[in-house]
Amino acid sequence: MVPITPPTPTRKRPSITWLFFQKPSDPKASHIRCSACPALIAYGGTTTGIIGHLKNRHFEIYQQLEKRMKMDDIVEEEESDASDVLARSFATGLIPFRFSENPEFRKFVKIVSNGRITMPNGRKIKNSIQKQAVNHLEMISKKVQNVRKFTILTDGYTNLKRDFHFYVLHIAFVNELFEREILFCSIRTVPKGDAISIGSAICTMLAEIGLKISDCTAFATDAGSPLVSLAKNHQIERVHCSCHFFDLIIKDFAKVKAIQKIQEKAQEFARYLAKHREDKKRLKTMSMENGIEEPVPLPLPETRWAGIYNILKNFLAHYATLKELSTLQRFILKPEQIELMEHTVQLLKPLHDAIMQLERDSSFASEVLPTIQWVKNKISSPTTTTTLSGKMKQIFDSRTKMMYSNRRLLCSCLLDHRFAYNLDILASWEWELAENYLKLYDKTEITAHKPPPTIPRDDTLDSFFLSSAGKKQIDDLNTDLTSYKALMGSNRPSTSSPLAFWASNQNNFPFLAPIAAELLSTPASAATCERTFSRCSDFLHQPKRNRASVETLNSLLTVSEMARSQRQAANVFDSDDDEVTEEEETEFSVWREESEEIPAEIPHETESEERDQAQIPAEFEEEGGESG
């Protein structure tokens, strides 16, 4: 008789609460203290009040914990298919397929698995990756089947050495629970970087997951001419990626002649360290002994946001150590040059901090204008009033005009309870303009818009009640706006997330809530696309990948980005999965210098209409050269 195997007991899913809070040793404890604020929360053995506190006071943390719980479930499911997990490791680890046929590696797998796992060959690894790329699209299709309004996040990447041009597509939307999701969809090659080719690629990628570009309500992109034209041709609103916007200000400022000179000094030092590792090691060791923890200066790529700020700041951090090393004496600067560098770092710091804040996937387009105002206040501070700061303010003001004229930014700021009607952010007339713009988004059809029924004229009691009903104020967008403005002026909620506010108030503002869901789907930047490009560089700079077809690279990048997104969702406290180490950055910099003269990557931001609207003031041209 064959023994019956008892069923595997189902593991009880732990409460989301204890991923963040310290569980009391006493199960009968009446209260526990919040880990994120001073609040004391009722416990008594039940987590209902604790979860309610998380949702109302720390909604972003709650969302991250939810993602982490979902990721744990995904990981458990994936563990059942070891071959797919193995194939994914080849994609994320940048390992050539043929390594699976390495005799020592196959022997290793056989030993650790006790012969239970048969190592697949390179072709099977490749087929598995292609299958997972297809499965990813099917999973996304199911997830977005009821989505009708979404934001497209896209950007282009060009590698001339490999003749490889592609665009990446992410979409962002707010689901029925008023939670925003940003999903990686796909990567597609384009024959050239014009609006028609890009539009065709995006339409193809959307069709693969069952979406249409006509349902897209906004683009979040940089200022590249093809992307500007694409949005205009399809009559879709476009939000300029705020990180790219601030980086353009920094690059404009860096064209001032005096700034160019000190930047060249810092870049020369960084290139030297990249090639002379012993000097770099000595500098780093001595600096650490002096309590300096900042990384040493590195020759960062031009596409790195706020690169000049980082290289100048790190140069200053290690300058005292530099002066002690005999081999680095030629990099010592004059006192006035150091003073200029310190002042430049002081002026650039607010812009760098703004980029760090807005590049998060949890950012909202509603945060762009308040951040611009915050930066303006910082660079206009009396403590920074100099000739150089005056030039910075002129460049800043010339760039920011177009942002304040963006209808979507104004309206999303109005629908963010943290900023609405705040006169330190926008003037009264600008808030009124936003209210008028908001009416253009009102597509709701409510029976209340119909004229009241005809009431017969008699003196009966029934007639009195019917007549009163007919005179009732008709609810519409204006009524919602009036109530919303009153709430903001009398008792502004303290909820940390705008979506958490609308999730709990959608019934109170039935006309505003769907508009808020549409507008708040747009993040403040397209930084998630830039993080995808980090992986692209890793793949395309590998000599052993020089025979991979475009289709194979597409599958590799899709699976790699899919895995990165899953890891990012699982990691609550460290979302930057593509952070580059110092050593990796140095290796990359040396490779770039020793490579051919053709640039490996070219940005897609030339001849932008927005660039034409924000020229550097004429008096700077003589000092800083052409404005581009």
pLDDT bin (cut points 50, 70, 90) of residue 615 is very low
> Residues 428-449: what's their mean pLDDT?
79
> 590: pLDDT confidence band, cut at 50, 70 and 90?
very low
The residue type at 116: R
Q: Is the pLDDT of residue 571 over 60?
A: no
Given its phi and psi angles, is residue 454 left (phi above 0), alpha (psi -120 to 50 degrees) or beta? beta
Asked if 572 contacts 64 with a C-beta cutoff of 8 angstroms, the reply is yes
Checking if the pLDDT of 344 tops 60, the result is: yes
Q: What is the mean pLDDT of residues 599-613?
A: 39
Residue 229 has pLDDT above 80, yes or no: yes
Determine which helix (DSSP H) or strand (DSSP E) holds 279, and give its type and residue range: helix 277-289
- Per-residue pLDDT for 67 more than 90? no
Is-contact 577 561, C-beta < 8 A?
no
- Supply the pLDDT for residue 481: 95
Closest C-alpha among 299, 306, 315 to residue 251 = 306
Residue type, 430: E
Alpha-carbon distance of 583 to 604, in angstroms, equals: 28
Q: Which of 200-214, 296-310, 420-434, 572-586 has the lowest mean pLDDT?
A: 572-586
C-alpha span between 609 and 351 (Å, rounded): 23
pLDDT greater at residue 307 or residue 513: 513
CB-based contacts of 180, cutoff 8 Å, min separation 6:
172, 173, 174, 499, 520, 521, 523
Q: Is the pLDDT of residue 398 over 80?
A: yes
Confidence tier at 106 by pLDDT (50, 70, 90) = confident
Question: Minimum mean pLDDT among 51-55, 68-72, 410-414: which range?
Answer: 68-72
**Radius of gyration in angstroms for the set of CA atoms belonging to the chain, rounded to a whole number:** 28
Residue 606: which residues within 8 A CB-CB, separation 6 or more?
Answer: 224, 225
Which of 402, 418, 368, 370 shows the shortest CA–CA distance to 523?
Answer: 368
How far is Cα 372 from Cα 246, in angstroms, rounded to an integer?
Answer: 9
For residue 466, name the pLDDT band (cuts at 50, 70, 90). very low
Give the number of other Cβ atoms within 10 Å of residue 462's Cβ.
9
pTM for this one?
0.75
Query: Is pLDDT at 591 greater than 70 in this prediction?
Result: no
Split at pLDDT 50, 70, 90, the class of 581 is very low
What is the reported pLDDT for 189?
Answer: 81
List pLDDT tens digits, range 123-178.
888 888 888 888 888 889 999 999 989 999 998 877 666 667 788 899 999 998 89
Rounded mean pLDDT of 480-485? Answer: 95
Which of 33-37, 213-217, 619-623 shows the lowest mean pLDDT across its residues? Answer: 619-623
Q: If DSSP states are collapsed to H, E and C, what string results for 526-590? A: CHHHHHHHHHHHHHHCCHHHCCCCHHHHHHHHHHHHHHHHHHHHHCCCCCCCCCCCHHHHHHHHH
Say how far apart CA 59 and CA 583 lie, in whole Å.
37
State the Cα–Cα distance between residues 182 and 168, nearest whole angstrom.
Answer: 13
Q: Is 509 exposed, middle or buried (0-12, 13-18, 19+ CB in 10 A)?
A: buried
Give residue 472's pLDDT band: very low, low, confident or very high (50, 70, 90).
very low
**pLDDT tens digits, 37-46:** 878 888 877 7
Q: What is the pLDDT of residues 536-552, one digit of tens each?
A: 666 666 666 556 666 77
Which has the minimum average pLDDT: 318-322, 514-518, 570-574?
570-574
Res 580: pLDDT = 40
Residue type, 471: K
- Please tell me the predicted confidence (pLDDT) of residue 109: 83
At residue 376 the predicted structure's pLDDT band, cuts being 50, 70 and 90, is very high
Q: What is the mean pLDDT of residues 443-454?
A: 45
Predicted pLDDT of residue 532? 79
Domains of the chain from N-terminus onward: 16-91 (no CATH), 129-240+541-570 (3.30.420.40), 245-363 (no CATH), 385-443+477-524 (no CATH)
Q: What is the mean pLDDT of residues 225-245?
A: 93
Highest mean pLDDT (candidates 52-66, 475-489, 609-623): 475-489
Q: For residue 573, what pLDDT is reported?
A: 38
Q: Which two tokens stand for residue 250?
A: 């920094």
Over range 511-525, report the average pLDDT.
96
Residue 153's identity, in one-letter code, is L
Q: Is the pLDDT of residue 95 over 80?
A: yes
Buried/exposed 260-296: b ≥16 CB within 10 Å, e otherwise = eebbebbbebbbbbbeeeebbebbbebbeeeebeebb
Average pLDDT over the chain reads 79
Average pLDDT of the segment spanning 550-578 = 65
Within 8 A by CB and 6+ apart from 314, the residues are 294, 295, 296, 297, 298
**What is the CA angle 198-202-205, rounded to 5?**
140
Percent of the chain with pLDDT over 90: 45
The residue ranking higher by pLDDT, 5 or 275, is 275
